[in-house]
Amino acid sequence: MPQLSGDVNTTVEQLHKTVDALVRISEDVASASTELAAVMTQSEANAQSELNEIDQVASAVNELSSTADNVSDNATAADSTAKQTDELAREGLDIFEQSNAASGQMTQTLSDAAGCGNTPSRAIRANQQSD
């Protein structure tokens, strides 16, 4: 019986050591699990932050696209206005040239009417003095 008592005591000690080892392993697993949960929470917060930043970038890109469209529309309108201005300037030049030609003809007519010795400038002065 003393041998049986010794074997039981040895078994109890080994069980005690095994249980202690299991408790330490369980504590380590619990600690690692807590750390993992904290890391996962932080990862989720980081992912949400990145998602918000992606939304902001997408919104900024949309605003830039809209601005580019507005700039394009304004450039098209400016081009059209420039073409209209050019056309009006050409029409104004044509009217000026017609007016200048008519003035020349009037000067010649007045000169012819005033006589052979009168130059166009004398006819114009004569016409201005009569006004």
- Which pLDDT score is estimated for 65? 96
pTM of the model: 0.48
- Which pLDDT score is estimated for 1? 74
Q: By percentage, how much of the chain surpasses pLDDT 70?
A: 88
Q: Which two tokens stand for residue 87?
A: 């056309």
HSE of 78 in the Cβ direction (CA atoms, 13 Å)?
6
Q: How far does Cα 123 stand from its chain's mean position?
A: 67
Higher pLDDT among residues 111 and 47, named by residue: 47
**What pLDDT digit, counting tens, does each position of 33-67 carry?**
999 999 999 999 999 999 999 999 999 999 999 99
